[in-house]
Structure 1
Amino acid sequence: MTHYFIQAFIYLLAAVIAVPLAKRFGLGSVLGYLVAGVVIGPTLGLVGHETDTIQHFAEFGVVMMLFLVGMELDPRSLWAMRVRLLGLGGLQVALSAAAGGLIGWILGLAWQTSLVVGLILALSSTAIVLQTLNEKGLTGTEGGRSAFSILLFQDMAVIPILALIPLLAISGIDAGAGQSGHDVDLVSSMPGWAHALVVVGAIGLVIGAGYFLGPWLFRFVVGSGLREVFTAAALMLVIGIAALMSLVNLSPALGAFLAGVVLANSEFKHELEANIEPFKGLLLGLFFMTVGAGINFDVLASEWWVVVVLGLGVIAVKAAVLIALAFAFGIRGSNGWLLTLSLAQAGEFGFVLLTYSRQNSVIGAELGELLSLVVAFSMFVTPLLFIVFDKVVLPRYRANKQTREADEFDEQSPVIVAGAGRFGQIVCRLLRANDVPLVALDLELSQIENARRINIKSFFGDASRSDLLDRAGIDKARLLVVAIDDLERAVQMVQHVKRFHPNVWVLARAFDRGHGYRLREAGADDVVSETYHSALELGSHALTALGTHPLRAKQLAWSFVQKEDLHDAELFEAWKEIEGGQRFSRRYGELFRRLEEALSKAMNEQEGEPQKEDVPLWTAPLEAMEPEARTAYESKRSADSND
């Protein structure tokens, strides 16, 4: 028992250290897990022979992930994405497998082995790609959606690949250790037609049981009122499906995916996701660590150049296929590169299919071990490809956008809104509703088109370019609203405008407190956090939901804002003493604690409904007034002071 505790501690310690470091350096959690596995396995030798056993257990994380992916879809969604699912995904698998098989045949492999190797290497890493796309917020992009369609087809393609492999057995192949097989297998001794019937029956059982018995089971469990029993039922469902699929030599992950699709419209969907998500994350991390820990450095040391050449060759061939498909399906610009770089690797199913191919005498032991290293190498390279996308592709794509001809301005307005996205459009709509003439600028053509559809005067162009601001009429403008989603460009724009056009009132959108301080330091006249007021509004609703009178909740929110404003200047000055504005200093931390204490005290002191005299009077800033209004205001203030 002590041995298991020590091993568990080693894996967890490696993950706790490596993953945050990898995230901090922008490498992503997947590469962190892989590096952690290499360190505790081949490098330090802290884990050894048990890695293969743990990997079989950790593969269940992939099963859970595909169950959750399936729950995000429903049959109508699958039908809606049929063109890219079947067209883009089908062509990617077919062309990549054909290219890989042809290269294997040219290198002297039997045609059966070449075909299976091509099919195995055609599959990409669902776990790495989906997790990385989620972490980087790229799932909603056209490239992310296209990558998901291809991954979905690849996961479904595992069924026919598994069915095909036994038919391609080659006599005399030395499978070595791969012959271990499953502990229990119901179909190995069956004739082909019986095997096919059992497979169809198993799939039908999963779909039928998920549709008819699943809701009944969860209603029964919910009736107990015990959350842990619901968690047990969710795990039982996924484990049971995985066991059934394994008994008939099918992919447990694909069976879980089908069950997820069946339950996509269930009223228990969100509860299932919440219960399974933590197990999925831990097991996926463990899976990646075992991949790193299981690398055979003896083979790698003796044939490292073969592994590197084959790994880079796999990436190059798949990238060429993906580039061609991206062009054919109209996936342009950075989205095309995202699709190409994210799917150019081999995937975790490669390890499963390689073992299965060795069991069925299609791939020999020596070739299987070499290909395992190639698959692992390509998976190691994938997070680096995402870094290339972030650091090389996106900047060049933005630079290309910036060198394009901006739209010609047919008129100038007193208000310029830089950024016509989800934030800037709301500002534009409010100003337009009050008959305020404005001009909106954005680098995303889709945002410009959306704004024009609702009659907001908008133009394509980079508002951070001084020449474009000049053409937009910054010299005559009274107000500039900075609502772009690039933190650095927003700060640079404010600096430029306040330096060369100091009379322009600058309102800037901040992403967080630190960014807001940087904008203020750059000279912005007014800074608003994009989440601050919406969070306050939601917080006041939360107080109301807990029994606080709505008017008192509003008063509490208003008092919160007032106290924040009172301490804001002190916090800003303390922040300027911190290098780069990124880390807490002792003084800043002390001031923040004082703010929290003042907030708590103010909340406890508030009683009754807000009175009229509680709301401070407001006057427009002089810079924002019309000349006539400014003169009248100054005259009135002078008269009041004389009185």
Structure 2
Amino acid sequence: MLDPLIILIALACGMASRAVGLPALIGYLGAGFLLHELQVVEGEILQVLSEVGITLLLFTIGLKLQIKDLLQTRVWGTTLAHMALLQLFFLGVFFLAGKLVPSLALGFSASMVGAFALTFSSTVFVIQVMQERGEMASRHAALAVGILIIQDLAAVVFLGFSAGKVPGPEALLLLLFIPLRGVILRLLTLSGHGELFTLFGFALAVGGAQLFELTGVKGDLGALLIGAVLAGHQKAKELSRNLLQFKDLFLVCFFLTIGLAGWPRGELIVLALVIGVLAVIKPPLYFLLMTRLHTPPRTALLASLSLANYSEFGLIVVAIAASAGWMDAQWSGAISLAIAVSFLIASPLNRFSHKIYRRWCHRLQAFETAQVRATHPDTRNTRVMVLGMGNIGTGAYESIAEVYGSEVLGVDDNDRKLAAHRAAHRRVVAADASDPDFWHRVDLNNIELIMLALTNHQENKLVGRLLEDLGYKGRIAAVVRFEEEAEELERYGISAFNLYAQAGSGFAAHAAEQLRDERQSA
């Protein structure tokens, strides 16, 4: 069984890491090294759970694959160019390190693998940062996640080749998963939304990976492919959310096993610290590539800063290379230290990313291409703006448009929503409500009312501060979910509508009106 001491130390280190504003991942890596010092021996179950965590990671990546989004040049072009340039850079770093300290010298194959591992950025870190700031639906989050998925696909190709197996002819039978997509989705629907649904998804990931192994195909690659077959369906999105906690929990075991392998030797520790600091070259390179491929400067900067780190996938790549005998096992510990240092650097950069952009926005706008300038939204002849065109925003738009007509403008950052609204003949534009560049182009003197239908408290506060800094004198109304959120927004002069508290009264009024109509018709 899993030693309770391992669980307690992992929990304590994870909590300590989170308390100082760092991802819990750093704490788990530290817990592994601490357990090594306490001479705790890695058990078989820890290794099994570690492998399950990697399988679930790849399966959930597959569930999120949207080919259309990944085919954008600024996504795949940025990713491939960035990975190629970093590959060359870190090959040079390893070559120089080997010349200066002969004991650090690596063969060409080992150097290629080590450099490849450092080209990734952390999916765990990016998603945690975006979720905490309430920006998962933003364009910069979508761009960063798209880049991460392309990187993960490159890692999966490596995993497939690393197995060293030649698939047998029976592997062709795995193509049956494609026509079976409808059957699998139907079964997922029948399994409901509770534990049976989650268990079915777990069985698809682990059982599918084992099935691929039996045919000579790397099981982790199989898990990703099965997830990709299901991608794009609503049940796939729900399944990804349900498996998220299991995946994160099992990956804790993977990070613990890295630390339990022990500290690298002294010169490797020094090199790991240097490599960790070198993560600072990632954001400028990302920014230059993104803006040259027609990404707005603000989107490029926020996405670049979130990617200013190394990845847990790099650990997986190095661990597999070490198990195959291509690299010394101590390199896993060295890469884990480099990842921890990169997180220490990336955390404050992301905490102050919006302030960094506001401070340097005029210089950064010099990187804006003519193609981006041509897409600036037209906000002329507007008296009312509705920010966030989901269900709540759409209802607000329809109601206020009865009074203001075409002088109402809807604002959203989701291209699919915008296409649906335009088909319904609503006046909408594509913009990020928290983007100061957008507000600088709006004539706020003509705006009488701004309605925040974002349902994200942090973003509501950010927009409120922006409008206050710009001297907006009109009315602002916002949707909130909790009373303390309403109180906080009122300090910014924002009128808050409590979605949960006032939905009940609206529901009662609707029911009473129906009852009154029925009595009158009787």
1: distance between equivalents of 2:444 and 2:36?
62
Q: Which of 249, 253, 270 is the matching residue for 1:282? A: 249
Q: Which residue of 2 aligns with 1:78?
A: 67
| Count of aligned pairs between the two proteins | 484
Output the CA distance in 1 between the equivalents of 2:377 and 2:232: 46
Once residues 41 and 460 of structure 1 are traced to their aligned partners in structure 2, the CA distance between those partners, rounded to angstroms, is 43
> Aligned residue for 1:243?
210
Alignment of 1:296 onto 2:274: no
1:265–1:13 distance in 2 versus 1, CA, 3 Å: same
8 A Cα contact 2:119 2:310, kept in partner: yes
| C-alpha distance after superposition, 1:196-216 (max 9, x if no partner) | 444x864x4444246439937
**Mapping of 1:188-267 within 5 angstroms?**
195-198=165-168, 202=171, 204-209=172-177, 211-212=179-180, 215=183, 219=187, 232-244=199-211, 251-264=218-231
Counterpart contact for 1:66–1:256, Cα < 8 Å: yes
Partner of 1:91: 81
Structure 1 contact 508–528 (Cα < 8 Å) conserved: yes
Q: State whether structure 2 residue 486 is matched by structure 1 residue 516.
A: yes
Verify the 8 A CA contact 1:58 1:284 in the aligned structure 2: yes
What is the distance in 1 between the residues matched to 2:379 and 2:189? 64
1:332-378, Cα deviation, whole Å (9 max, x unpaired) = 33322333333343333333332433344433x2xx41x32342123
Alignment of 1:65-144 (within 5 A): 65-73=57-65, 77-79=66-68, 81-84=70-73, 86-106=76-96, 107-108=98-99, 109-144=106-141
Q: Which has the higher contact order (CA 8 A, sep 6+)?
A: 2
User: Structure 2 vs 1, CA of residues 610 and 148 (structure 1 numbering), >3 Å: closer, same or farther?
Assistant: same
What's the offset of the Cα at 1:61?
A: 1.7
Partner residue in 1 for 2:498: 529
Matches within 5 A, 1:8-407: 9-14=4-9, 19=14, 26-27=21-22, 31-39=23-31, 41-42=33-34, 45=37, 48-50=40-42, 54-55=46-47, 57-73=49-65, 77-79=66-68, 81-84=70-73, 86-106=76-96, 107-108=98-99, 109-162=106-159, 195-198=165-168, 202=171, 204-209=172-177, 211-212=179-180, 215=183, 219=187, 232-244=199-211, 251-264=218-231, 269=236, 272-273=239-240, 276-291=243-258, 293-294=259-260, 296-297=262-263, 299=265, 303-313=268-278, 315-363=279-327, 365=328, 368-369=329-330, 371-399=331-359
Normalising by structure 1, report the TM-score.
0.59
The whole-number CA distance in structure 2 between the counterparts of 1:98 and 1:352 is 21
| Counterpart contact for 2:412–2:429, Cα < 8 Å | no
CA distance in 2, matches of 1:274, 1:91: 31
CA deviation after TM superposition for structure 1 residue 427, in Å: 5.2
Is the 2:181–2:230 contact (alpha carbons within 8 Å) kept by the matching residues of 1? Answer: no
Q: Distance in 1 between matches of 2:431 and 2:237?
A: 41
3-state SS of paired residue (1:362):
coil
Question: Based on CA coordinates, which of the two structures has the bigger radius of gyration?
Answer: 1
Q: Deviations over 1:97-136 (max 9, x none)?
A: 2332244345454333322222232233334434544454
Offset of residue 33 of structure 1? 4.1
SS of the aligned residue for 1:122 comes to coil
AA aligned opposite 1:215: V
The whole-number CA distance in structure 1 between the counterparts of 2:318 and 2:78 is 25
- Structure 2 residue identity aligned to 1:208: L
Would you say 1:554 and 2:511 are equivalent positions? yes
CA–CA separation in structure 2 for the residues paired with 1:492 and 1:131: 24
Which residue matches 2:372?
Answer: none
1:235 Cα shift?
3.1
Match of 1:243, SS state, is helix
Judging changes above 3 Å, is the alpha-carbon distance between structure 1 residues 123 and 509 closer, same or farther for their aligned structure 2 residues? closer
1:235–1:276 Cα contact (<8 Å) kept = yes
Q: Give the structure-2-normalised TM-score.
A: 0.70
Aligned CA distance change for structure 1 residues 481 and 212 (closer, same or farther; 3 Å): closer
Tell me which residue corresponds to 2:102: none
How many percent of aligned residue pairs carry the same amino acid?
A: 19
Distance 1:443 1:79 in 2: 20
- Determine helix, strand or coil for the equivalent of 1:508: strand
Counterparts in 2 of 1:610 and 1:19: CA distance versus 1, 3 Å: farther
How far apart are 1:258 and its partner, in Å? 0.3
Note closer, same or farther for the CA distance 1:495–1:159 as it changes in structure 2 (3 Å cut): closer
Q: Secondary structure at the match of 1:434?
A: helix
Write the distance in 2 (CA, Å) between the matches of 1:126 and 1:408. 35
Q: Against the structure 1 CA distance between its residues 216 and 156, is the aligned structure 2 distance closer, same or farther, given a 3 Å change threshold?
A: closer
SS in 2 for 1:140: coil
Question: 1:329 offset after TM fit, Å?
Answer: 1.8
Give the Å deviation of 1:257.
0.9
CA contact (8 A) 1:139 1:145 kept: yes
Q: Is the 8 A contact 1:334 1:393 kept in 2?
A: no
- The alpha-carbon distance between structure 1 residues 420 and 156, as it changes in their structure 2 partners (threshold 3 A), is closer
Give the direction of change, closer, same or farther, for the CA distance of 1:513–1:307 in structure 2 (3 Å limit).
Answer: same
Residues 16-53 of structure 1 show CA distances to partners (whole Å, capped at 9, x for unaligned) of 555566556643xxx22431552474279557221786
**In the TM superposition, what whole-angstrom CA distance separates every residue of 1:543-567 from its partner, at most 9, and x where no partner exists?**
xxxxxxxx78734xx9xxxxxxxxx
1:472/1:89 Cα in 2 relative to 1: closer, same or farther (>3 Å)? closer
Contact 1:319 1:344 in 2 (8 A): yes
Higher mean C-alpha displacement, 86-95 vs 39-48:
39-48
Shift of residue 297, structure 1, vs aligned partner: 3.9
Separation (CA, whole Å) in 1 of partners of 2:127 and 2:433: 32
Contact 2:401 2:408 in 1 (8 A): no
Q: Distance in 1 between matches of 2:353 and 2:509?
A: 51
Unpaired runs of 5+ residues, structure 2, are 100-105, 366-375
Any unmatched runs of 5+ in structure 1? 166-186, 189-194, 541-550, 559-607, 613-643
What is the distance in 1 between the residues matched to 2:377 and 2:202? Answer: 56
Larger CA deviation: 231-240 vs 269-278: 269-278
In 2 relative to 1, CA 389–51 (structure 1 residues): closer, same or farther, beyond 3 Å?
farther
- How large is the Cα RMSD of the aligned pairs? 5.4
